[in-house]
Amino acid sequence: MIRIHDKHFVPFLSASQIDSAVAKLAQEIADDVDEEVPIFIGVLNGSFMFVSDLMKHYHKPCELSFIKLSSYQGTTSTGTINELIGLGVEVKNRTVIVIEDIVDTGNTLVVLKKLFEDKEVKALKIATLFFKPEAYIKDIPIDYIGMEIPNKFIVGYGLDYDEQGRNLAEVYQLATENTYNPINSNTMINIVLFGKPGAGKGTQAEFLKDQYNLVHISTGDVFRYNLKNNTELGQQAKAFMDRGDLVPDALTISMLQAEVEKNAGATGFLFDGFPRTIAQAEALDKFLDSKGWGVTATIALEANDEILIQRLLERGKTSGRADDQDESKIRNRYDEYNEKTAPLIEYYTQKDLFYSVNGIGTIEEVTRRLSTIIDDFIDK
């Protein structure tokens, strides 16, 4: 997986797959062309690599020129296209073969068609390396297609994301929940999101789980679900939770293991609020090890108690969480944290797995800080 600006991209087409498509397309054009010498017109900037390789595979006489248009801003088509650099060659009564790197909506083709018709070309043919049939909304026929691809944003081999990525020899696809698969990078990603009550573990997990395709397990949420449904587990945990005490290890550990087992196909987990004691951390190590996995990193959200207590009291007005309702219960949660959970910092530091970020700032700022760390060990 690679990162360009703020986005992740996964490998989609190898250099050799691209080369075969280019060679096949060059052959098709050559087979069609008779004695007449065509003018190939590359559409810049995206087509520069394709034009270069196409020319190497095209062995008949030809001329070559370029035109520059712009149709994209970011990852979605803006629909507005401007001609930037005009055509410098005479095309009247000539056969023109426009070379596009990609055709999606077809908006660019409409402009090109008009442009060349105005210049009274003898024939206009369109060749594109990539074609997105699901996105194409025009009826201009495309004469030569290297390959049809799904309607997903791609970069590489001349195509950019906000001007970067053109130099990649392969093509990458924008990573989404379903395309980013840590198993393909040979490793499960198991992140322990660590922090005092109210530090933002649950808030951040909502973003990270989508961004990295992780299963989010919040032991607090699972306990609350059981409380609400009055299960045996909920009844056992209730008194501890209401006071702001930790629930006994044995109960918590078996519950956590059951949650992991429920997600057999997962490619990584985001543990939120677990482990909270040394015994839990040891149990987690043993459990993950039994599956051939391990903790990838523990990342703490750092924040000062007084700010966090305010956050929780504020949330307590609407959350219905008994442990958020009064300050003495909240302070008890901090005492529990300091006594039983804080020693985990040393536990994970010794294993060289402990990272921390400043948890104060906007939610987006904190997400960015976390992503920077996660991206770092994904890239390794």
Q: Which of residues 216-235 bind ligand AP5 (CB under 6 A)?
A: 218-220, 223
The packing angle between helices 327-336 and 232-243, to 10°, is 100
Q: Which of residues 158-197 bind ligand AP5 (CB under 6 A)?
A: 195, 197
Please give the positions annotated as active site.
201, 276, 315, 321, 333
Among 38, 198, 268, 316, contact with ligand AP5 (rule: CB under 6 A)? 198
Phi-psi region of 157 (alpha: psi -120 to 50; beta: other; left: phi over 0): left
Out of ligand AP5, Mg ion, none, what residue 315 binds, judged by CB under 5 to 8 A for its kind, is ligand AP5
Out of Mg ion, ligand AP5, none, what residue 60 binds, judged by CB under 5 to 8 A for its kind, is none
Q: Which of residues 311-340 bind ligand AP5 (CB under 6 A)?
A: 311, 315, 323, 333
Under 8 Å between Cβ of 272 and 205: yes
* 203 near ligand AP5, rule: CB under 6 A: yes
* 370 near ligand AP5, rule: CB under 6 A: no
Select from 11-19, 169-177, 194-202, 253-261 the region that touches Mg ion (CB under 5 A). Answer: 194-202
Q: Give the Cα separation of 212 and 267 in Å (integer).
A: 9
Q: Of 94 and 209, which CB lies nearer to ligand AP5 in the complex structure? A: 209
Q: What is the 3 state secondary structure string of 335-349?
A: HHHHHHHCHHHHHHH
Under 8 Å between Cβ of 68 and 96: no
* 38 near ligand AP5, rule: CB under 6 A: no
How many residues make contact with ligand AP5 (CB under 6 A)? Answer: 31
Select from 81-89, 113-121, 133-141, 359-367 the region that touches ligand AP5 (CB under 6 A). Answer: 359-367
Among 107, 128, 173, 252, contact with ligand AP5 (rule: CB under 6 A)? 252
* 202 near Mg ion, rule: CB under 5 A: yes
Q: Of 131 and 194, which CB lies nearer to Mg ion in the complex structure? A: 194
Question: Of all residues in this chain, which one has the CB nearest to ligand AP5 in the complex?
Answer: 220
Q: Of 8 and 201, which CB lies nearer to ligand AP5 in the complex structure? A: 201
Q: Of 66 and 271, which CB lies nearer to ligand AP5 in the complex structure? A: 271
Q: Of 165 and 200, which CB lies nearer to ligand AP5 in the complex structure? A: 200
Select from 73-81, 134-142, 202-210, 341-349 the region that touches Mg ion (CB under 5 A). Answer: 202-210
Select from 144-152, 154-162, 273-281, 350-358 the region that touches ligand AP5 (CB under 6 A). Answer: 273-281
How many residues make contact with Mg ion (CB under 5 A)? Answer: 3
Contact residues for Mg ion, defined by CB under 5 A:
201-202, 220
Contact residues for ligand AP5, defined by CB under 6 A:
195, 197-203, 218-220, 223, 240-241, 244-247, 252, 273-274, 276, 280, 311, 315, 323, 333, 361-363, 366
